[in-house]
């Protein structure tokens, strides 16, 4: 094919994201999707957005539409500086970097830190979109064991003993894909390990604010501030179409990130940053968060109830205190990719868990179920259909 | 320094963009800047933006704030498909890719095409921001001669004879930094050369619509559609803070670009794309363009008039039919970087031309002057001050 010979070496590694391929099936008419990882549009504060649109035109005028700092729109950095104090993260507005989605943050980290063959330590299973950001830089992935309480610190410590790792990638709260949350004790142990080993940890926290029950746990960033790059996102607590992520990183990481971002997109959209600045500084985020919980909690309860009611005894699943996912483990020998094909014929889609593991052969019996995009009745029906296929 | 050892090899090449450093000086109180390359905020259609904000909320509702296709928001692709026909570019909406600024397009092209040491052919001088996008992938730059009529085709042909080049990077209209426009005859010759040589050309065209005088020339894309990646931008004809660029590329380039963009930012902001879609499809772009010309033309005339009046006879400059820049060449031996330091002391900033050349030692006697950000009286004063420093 014309120009095929022009391909860079790295491009051969950029296969289409398997989950994105699965999500194409979801678009079929009548399909019930438990496959996505996208927030319900009902959770978007549309009335607030309308008000904020007027407000940014009045307050910032044409400067909300002009080129802006690569580091980020200053009123947004200031608003986040205040907001982050609740998470025990003390960062001046000058130390905050705005990114084009948290995907943009992961890309920048890959770009500045990873040479070909460098090692990144990841949870098993982990978020596939992070690997998509790192893959162009051709790293190796080293798996760290996880269980119901998240990453197993001893497994990480053993890995850091024997391998030079550029960074550890971790989702501590309501992890994608498992919905698991790293326990408080493990956070302290992990913080101790990365400080002792001189390691850098990327704490990706898009779901931390989506807590329906129980107490928030301290961020790893708050426990080891000099060793953690904290990545946040407004996609699940405002709206993903704005593409606003942010980062609090130690020097010199945040300085290199700015150099990388100059080449990536100069800066993130000024007007979406202005909307976000007003959403947070005007107190709208704080007021709207309980509304999002009010939407998601009954959906999660409906899915858990249906799992209890319909699923065969051979299956196990967790009951996360928040987030967007439930992780189901079938009996040994189950192949959820085959199950997926049958389920799609019956009109239900999900993501087979194997796609979230970096090592082939792991997670064949697992699946990720999302509940944010359907109503409670539909969720009941979907789980019933899925259980029917499983029982055959 | 902590973590300095974690740096990827490529990061050492990501020095701060010299022009961005120069632009920091511009922020000093009282400084007149001829240094920037940013559009006048007076050129932003603020009343139209207000109307479009209401319109996208009515028309698209929450879907303007949801995750969207990596390829681009379909109504924007459809609007661009129609708009591009005027440029002789016939592309279905399916063949158009939206990028986060045209910077995002250049990054994607670098990512999918450039392995370390690969060659990119560039004009001498060329746009520094493009190099910032390509640098992380560690290419070599090969210079192609240019003169008043833009890239010299014979120089390119000789280069392609002796070197394997991944792509040629070209700004055909009102080039940054020179303001020069590639002649119609050269466009046809270049098209013939790239087809004959089987080469790929990146036609970056952010300024093509900013024409104050004379007839538009055919895009190289229209003359060699299978060999050209056409990059457009709404930054100069709508507002740069929206970060909207677009690309019309041959298969398989546009397919690889989507894979790259999944890792870069998933997709460009849905709501800024929705604004852009309505701006173009609603006929606002077509109506607003003459208004932008009405703002810029007198500014350019004021600068040209002041150059005629004040500049020493040893200097030469061009009179572009549009765009944002005038290119001044001083006498041999002039060092415009030294001149820059003196000019800044007098309160005028510009960009020394040497920063736009990939080969050290070229362009020492040149400078880029921008006129979009000042009023006509200020432009007169700035050129007078600059001429005063030059005459010393």
Fold of B64-285: 3.40.640
Per-residue pLDDT tens over the stretch A196-237: 999 999 999 999 999 999 999 999 999 999 999 999 999 999
Domain with CATH 3.90.1150.10 in chain B: 4-44+288-391
Contact B335, B353 (CB under 8 A): no
The CA-atom distances, in angstroms, between B318 and each of A37, A149, B205, B370 are 55, 68, 20, 13
- Greatest alpha-carbon pair distance for chain B in Å reads 62
* Per-residue pLDDT band at A9 (split at 50, 70, 90): confident
Token reading at A114:
């990873």
Would you call A256 an interface residue with chain B, using a CB distance cutoff of 8 Å?
A: yes
Binary contact (A100, B242; C-beta < 8 A): no
Which one of A266, A268, A270, A373 makes the best mutation probe of the B interface by having the most chain B beta carbons within 10 Å?
A266
Contact A384, A34 (CB under 8 A): no
From B113, B134, B133, B104, select the one nearest B253 (Cα to Cα): B113
Report the candidate in B336, B363, B330 with the shortest Cα–Cα distance to residue B349.
Answer: B336
Q: Which two tokens stand for residue B309?
A: 């009046």
How far is A311 from chain B, CA to nearest CA, in Å? 31
Q: How far does the CA of residue B311 sit from the closest CA of chain A (Å)? A: 31
Residues on chain B touching A38 (C-beta within 8 angstroms): 66-67
Q: Is B17 within 8 Å of A263 (Cβ atoms)?
A: no
The region of weakest confidence among A44-53, A125-134, B2-11 is B2-11
* Cβ neighbourhood burial of A51 (10 Å; 0-12, 13-18, 19+): middle
- Return the residue of B nearest to A100 by Cα: B265
Asked whether the CA dihedral B121, B123, B125, B129 is positive or negative, the reply is negative
pLDDT digits (tens, 9 = 90+) for B203-249: 999 999 999 999 999 999 999 999 999 999 999 999 999 999 999 99
Q: What pLDDT, in 10s, does the model give residues A147-186?
A: 999 999 999 999 999 999 999 999 999 999 999 999 999 9
Please say whether the dihedral angle defined by the alpha carbons of residues A107, A110, A111 and A112, taken in this order, is positive or negative.
positive
User: Which residues numbered 59-98 in A keep a CB inside 8 Å of some CB on B?
Assistant: 61-68, 70
C-alpha distances out from residue B226 to B164, B220, B250, Å: 19, 11, 6
Mean pLDDT, chain A, whole residue set? 95
Q: Which regions of chain B carry the CATH code 3.40.640.10?
A: 64-285
Q: Cβ contacts of residue B287 below 8 Å, gap of 6+?
A: none
Show the tokens assigned to B201.
Answer: 């050309």
CA distance linking residue B109 with residue B337, whole number of Å: 32
- Residue A4 is predicted with a pLDDT of 77
Query: What SS3 class is residue A140?
Result: strand
**What number does CATH give the domain A4-44+287-391?**
3.90.1150.10
Rounded Cα–Cα distance for residues B336 and B354 (Å): 8
User: Which chain B residue is nearest to residue A243, measuring alpha carbons?
Assistant: B269
Total-model pTM? 0.96
Q: CA nearest A386: which of A277, A300, A281, A307? A: A307
Q: What is the pLDDT of residue B392?
A: 85
Q: Which residue in chain B is spatially nearest to A201 when comparing CA positions? A: B3
Burial class (CB in 10 A: 0-12, 13-18, 19+), A312: exposed
The answer, yes or no, to whether residue A1 has pLDDT greater than 50, is no
Q: Per-block average pLDDT, block size 10, for chain B (392 residues)?
A: 77 72 77 93 97 97 96 98 95 97 97 96 96 95 97 98 97 98 98 97 98 97 97 98 97 93 96 98 98 98 98 97 98 95 95 94 97 97 97 88
Assigned token pair, A379: 């969720």
Contacts of residue A250 in chain B, CB cutoff 8 Å?
Answer: 2-3
How much of chain A, in percent, has pLDDT values that exceed 70?
98
CB pair distance less than 8 Å for B135 and A263: yes
A44/B contact by beta carbon, under 8 A = yes
CATH number among 3.90.1150.10, 3.90.79.10, 1.10.1740.10, 3.40.50.1100, domain B4-44+288-391: 3.90.1150.10
Query: Torsion-angle region of residue A333: left (phi > 0), alpha (psi -120 to 50) or beta?
Result: left
Q: Which CATH architecture has domain A66-283?
A: 3-Layer(aba) Sandwich (3.40)
| Whole-number Å distance between alpha carbons of A304 and A317 | 9
- CATH 3.90.1150.10 residue ranges of chain A are 4-44+287-391
Rounded CA gap, B353 and B337, in Å?
8
β-sheet bridge partners, residue B150:
B147
**Cβ atoms B245, B257 nearer than 8 A:** no
Position B173 scores a pLDDT of 98
pLDDT at residue A203 in the model: 98
Which pLDDT tens digit goes with each residue over A261-313?
A: 999 999 999 999 999 999 999 999 999 999 999 999 999 999 999 999 999 99
B178 touching A (Cβ < 8 Å): no
- Name the segment(s) of chain A with CATH classification 3.40.640.10: 66-283
Q: pLDDT tens digits for B111-149?
A: 999 999 999 999 999 999 999 999 999 999 999 999 999
Query: Chains A, B: CB contacts under 8 A, how many?
Result: 244
Alpha carbon A245 to its chain's center: 11
pLDDT at A10 over 90: no
């Amino acid at each position: 094919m014309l120009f095929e010979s022009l391909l860079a070496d790295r491009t051969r590694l950029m296969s289409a994201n398997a989950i994105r391929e699965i999500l194409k099936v979801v678009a079929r008419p009548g399909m019930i999707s438990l496959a996505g990882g996208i927030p319900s549009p009902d959770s978007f504060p549309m009335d607030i957005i309308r008000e904020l649109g007027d407000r940014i035109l009045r307050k910032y005028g044409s400067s909300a539409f002009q080129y802006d700092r690569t580091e980020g729109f200053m009123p947004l950095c200031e608003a986040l500086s205040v907001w982050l104090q609740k998470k025990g993260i003390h960062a001046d507005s000058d130390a905050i970097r705005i990114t084009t989605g948290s995907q943009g943050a992961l890309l920048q980290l890959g770009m500045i830190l990873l040479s070909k063959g460098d090692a990144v330590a990841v949870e098993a299973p982990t978020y596939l979109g992070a690997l998509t950001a790192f893959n162009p830089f051709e790293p190796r992935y080293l798996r760290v064991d996880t269980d119901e309480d998240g990453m197993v610190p001893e497994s990480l410590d053993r890995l850091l003993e024997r391998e030079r790792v550029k960074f550890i990638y971790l989702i501590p709260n309501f992890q994608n894909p498992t919905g698991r949350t790293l326990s408080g004790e493990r956070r302290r142990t992990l913080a101790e390990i990365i400080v002792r080993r001189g390691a850098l940890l990327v704490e990706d926290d898009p779901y931390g604010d989506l807590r329906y029950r129980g107490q928030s746990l301290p961020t790893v960033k708050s426990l080891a501030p000099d060793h953690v790059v904290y990545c946040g996102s407004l996609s699940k607590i405002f709206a993903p179409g704005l593409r606003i992520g942010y980062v609090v990183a130690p020097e010199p990481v945040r300085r290199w990130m700015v150099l990388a971002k100059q080449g990536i997109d100069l800066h993130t959209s000024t007007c979406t940053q202005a909307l976000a600045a007003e959403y947070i500084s005007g107190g709208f985020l704080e007021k709207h968060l309980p509304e999002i919980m009010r939407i998601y909690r009954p959906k999660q309860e409906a899915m858990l109830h249906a799992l209890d009611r319909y699923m065969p005894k051979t299956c196990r699943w967790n009951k996360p205190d928040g987030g967007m996912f439930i992780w189901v483990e079938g009996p040994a020998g189950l192949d959820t990719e085959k199950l997926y094909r049958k389920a799609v014929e019956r009109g239900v889609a999900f993501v087979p868990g194997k796609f979230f593991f970096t090592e082939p052969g792991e997670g064949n019996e697992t699946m990720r179920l999302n509940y944010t995009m359907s109503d409670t009745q539909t969720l009941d029906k979907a789980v019933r259909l899925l259980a029917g296929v499983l029982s055959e």
